[in-house]
Amino acid sequence: MADIVRAGALWGYIQLAQNLGHDAAALLAQVGLTPEDLDNPDAYLPRPAVVGLLELTATQLDCPDFGIRLAGVQDVNILGALSFAIRNATDVRASISAAARHIHFQARQGTLAVEPIAGSREERIVFRTPPLKQGDRQMIEHAVCLFCRVFSHLTDGRARPSRILFEHEALLHPAGYAEYFAGVVPQFGAEANYVYLDRDVLALPMANANRRLQVLVESYLESCAPKPSISVANRTYEALAQVMRFGPANIEDVADMLRMHPRTLQRRLSDNGSSFERLRDDIRKDMAMRHLSNPLVPLSEVAAVLGYANQSALARSCTRWFGRSPKAMRAELRRVHEPA
């Protein structure tokens, strides 16, 4: 599937670059684009060119916050038809879910997901895109800033993040980010790009929700934005999860299921920004949560089901995943699920 993004993502770019004293056309030319390419917001542009443009502009203008400045002159309307699905959902959670379902309308290889956190009132929204050699720090900061602006605006300023985490290192003094993120100072060097929201925020109603219009718009989005093909990482994850239901799995077994040589599978996973070991670890984490929530399953059996030789290996993994021992995690899960 082509790695493309709607030109609407660059709405306001030319004016902002010119206001900062630079020739926007010259910057566009360096990544193979022209000002005319930005005229139609519904046209698609190569994502590497768009990402490269933001990185190049930030460097040449000595403006490390260019991505979030660009988001600062934009609003939900740059998302085109997707904006109607977002604005007409019943509440913030339903709105984010609509954005996640149809994110491929805006960026064909982007993903957006809501992840609950055991034992916490927070849930986190994770932003993922395929890695690029030149890096995509400006684009990520742009996306997160736009996300925060959109939901703040649609809830009259009530939808504010409790925390923001970026995978990359800070591009300016951390406190300098506060004015862009409703007073929140992001953390950097995280394992992924996250926006944390309290469950009360996710339950906030949208001011002008129209469920009938949302259904119509989502039907349109489904018809005109093709679903992404199943990536090798997703195929591997599904095959690996199937094998691990019955016992330990190795790359040879999974590669055989996918009709590939193990080295080919590992290479294609690497090209996809993943690895067999990382996918297996993700599945083990999910399995651990499921089995630890059942007090009738002995910890020795949990270790065996996850493919560990002993409980010590399970303990090390639980500490890495959850920041606590298997016994402590089981107690926490029991407390969370106990009736009030």
pTM (whole model) above 0.85 = no
Question: In the structure, what pLDDT confidence band is assigned to residue 230 with cuts at 50, 70 and 90?
Answer: low
Chain Cα centroid distance, residue 187: 16
Class of residue 74 by CB neighbours under 10 A (exposed 0-12, middle 13-18, buried 19+): buried
- Long-range pairs of 270-276 with CB within 8 A, sequence gap ≥ 24: 272/130, 272/231, 272/232, 272/233, 273/130, 273/131, 273/233, 274/233, 274/236, 276/236, 276/240, 276/251
Q: Determine phi and psi for 2, rounding to 5 degrees.
A: -60, 140
Lowest mean pLDDT among 16-25, 237-246, 317-326: 237-246
CATH of domain 232-337: 1.10.10.60
Q: Each residue of 293-307: pLDDT tens digit?
A: 888 889 999 999 898
d(C-alpha 31, C-alpha 51), whole Å: 9
* pLDDT recorded at residue 129: 86
Q: For the chain, which residues make up each domain, given as ranges?
A: 65-224, 232-337
- Is residue 147 scored above 90 in pLDDT? yes
pLDDT, tens only, 60-108: 999 999 999 999 999 999 999 999 999 999 999 999 999 999 998 899 8
Lowest mean pLDDT among 131-140, 222-231, 245-254, 316-325: 222-231
Rounded to an integer, what distance in angstroms lies between the CA atom of residue 318 and that of residue 307?
Answer: 14
